[in-house]
């Protein structure tokens, strides 16, 4: 029987830590209540029914009990174990990065349903084999948007002039793009090519599927990545640890044997404004 202190949440395990001899601390990003922390007792014991459900990158429904300290997870049902995603190093690492991104950018108990939906959709996409750099960049930009830090990409953040298709710049501190006239007066402005501006606008105007299909040259992808990295770092005020891991994997070329490098500039949907 459910008592007055019992409740249910649905969410994705974004972090976990071992505690005690057999217990696990579980951090969920939940559908209705944002980030929440729990203790799952006995979850590290082989044969524990909770164990598989409270693994990181698992989505489930959790039966919880309110306590004065951390609430307990007493029962759980796995909704999606993301087994395919966990069977390969690159997709698993992409998913861990997104989980860390959400963990670092949210506080406990602040509900954000749209961010939850974005996260689940990204996990589903990675699980179905769509874990590429475009997805990561799309997610980073949309996360910024959900948190209220979407870069301004239509008008110069300094003088409000409509941005022209010329070499502009992007300033993380000012919160958006800047025209050539204002750029010299901004210390952290980084050159923003016309194509990179188009890509960022494209991600904001299109859904995940469409954005993942965009093909960027290596140079353009690196430019977009650098801009978003600077934006995230200035907002989160810290380096994400799993990003170094992704860079290492990429550098070791463990998984990138057949990476395509076509160009984006002539894709018609990117030209539209």
**Which residues sit at the interface with another protein, rule CB under 8 A?**
15, 18-22, 24, 43-48, 50-57, 81, 86, 88-89, 92-93, 96-97, 99-100, 103, 241-242, 244-246, 248, 254
Within residues 172-201, the interface with Zn ion by CB under 5 A covers 179, 182
Residue identified by tokens 């861990």 is 96
264 binds, among Zn ion, another protein, none (CB under 5 to 8 A by kind): none
Residue of the chain from 122, 156, 208, 240 that contacts Zn ion (CB under 5 A): 156
Residue closer to Zn ion, measured from CB, 115 or 163: 163
Task: Find, among 47, 64, 48, the residue nearest to 11 by Cα.
Answer: 64
Q: Least CB distance from residue 19 to another protein, whole Å?
A: 8
265 binds, among another protein, Zn ion, none (CB under 5 to 8 A by kind): none
Give just the sign of the alpha carbon dihedral 166, 189, 140, 261. positive
Question: Cβ atoms within 10 A of the Cβ of 241, count?
Answer: 11
Q: How far apart are alpha carbons 198 and 263 in whole angstroms? A: 13
Asked if 158 touches Zn ion (CB under 5 A), the answer is yes
> Tokens standing for 140?
């980073």
Q: Least CB distance from residue 182 to Zn ion, whole Å?
A: 3
Q: Least CB distance from residue 224 to Zn ion, whole Å?
A: 21
Asked if 166 touches Zn ion (CB under 5 A), the answer is no
156 binds, among another protein, Zn ion, none (CB under 5 to 8 A by kind): Zn ion
Q: How far apart are alpha carbons 158 and 168 in whole angstroms? A: 12
Supply the DSSP string of 137-149, one letter for each residue: HHHHHHHHHHTT-
Q: In sequence order, which residues have a C-beta less than 8 Å from that of residue 259 and are 6 or more positions away?
A: none
Q: 122 with 139: CB under 8 angstroms?
A: yes
The residue with its CB nearest to Zn ion is 156
Q: 11 with 59: CB under 8 angstroms?
A: yes
Asked if 167 touches Zn ion (CB under 5 A), the answer is no
Q: Least CB distance from residue 102 to another protein, whole Å?
A: 11
193 binds, among another protein, Zn ion, none (CB under 5 to 8 A by kind): none
> Tokens standing for 37?
């922390």
Q: How far apart are alpha carbons 172 and 170 in whole angstroms? A: 7
Q: Least CB distance from residue 171 to another protein, whole Å?
A: 28
Q: Least CB distance from residue 174 to another protein, whole Å?
A: 30
227 binds, among another protein, Zn ion, none (CB under 5 to 8 A by kind): none
Within residues 225-264, the interface with Zn ion by CB under 5 A covers none
Q: How far apart are alpha carbons 37 and 71 in whole angstroms? A: 7
Q: How far apart are alpha carbons 140 and 266 in whole angstroms? A: 24
Q: Give the binding site for Zn ion (CB under 5 A).
A: 156, 158-159, 161, 179, 182
């Amino acid at each position: 029987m459910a008592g007055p202190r019992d409740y249910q949440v649905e969410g994705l395990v974004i972090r976990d830590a071992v505690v005690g001899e057999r217990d696990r601390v579980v951090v969920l990003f939940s559908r209705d209540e944002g980030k929440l922390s729990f203790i799952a007792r006995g979850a590290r014991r082989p044969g524990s029914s909770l164990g598989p459900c409270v693994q990181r990158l698992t989505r489930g429904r959790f039966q919880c009990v309110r306590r004065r300290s951390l609430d307990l997870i007493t029962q759980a049902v796995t909704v999606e174990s993301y087994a395919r995603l966990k069977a390969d190093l690159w997709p698993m690492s992409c998913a861990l990065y997104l989980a860390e991104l959400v963990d670092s950018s949210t506080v406990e108990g602040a509900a954000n349903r749209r961010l939850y939906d974005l996260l689940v959709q990204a996990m589903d996409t990675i699980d179905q084999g769509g874990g590429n750099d475009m997805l990561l960049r799309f997610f980073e930009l949309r996360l910024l948007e959900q948190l209220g830090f979407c870069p301004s990409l239509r008008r110069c953040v300094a003088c409000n002039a409509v941005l022209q298709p010329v070499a502009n710049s992007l300033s993380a501190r000012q919160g958006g793009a800047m025209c050539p006239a204002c750029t010299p007066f901004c210390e952290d402005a980084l050159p923003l090519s016309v194509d990179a501006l188009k890509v960022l606008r494209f991600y904001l105007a299109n859904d995940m599927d469409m954005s993942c299909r965009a093909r960027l040259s290596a140079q353009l992808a690196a430019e977009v990545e650098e801009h978003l990295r600077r934006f995230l770092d200035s907002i989160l005020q810290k380096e994400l640890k799993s990003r170094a891991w992704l860079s290492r994997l990429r550098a070791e070329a463990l998984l990138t044997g057949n990476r395509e490098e076509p160009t984006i500039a002539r894709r018609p949907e990117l030209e539209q404004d």
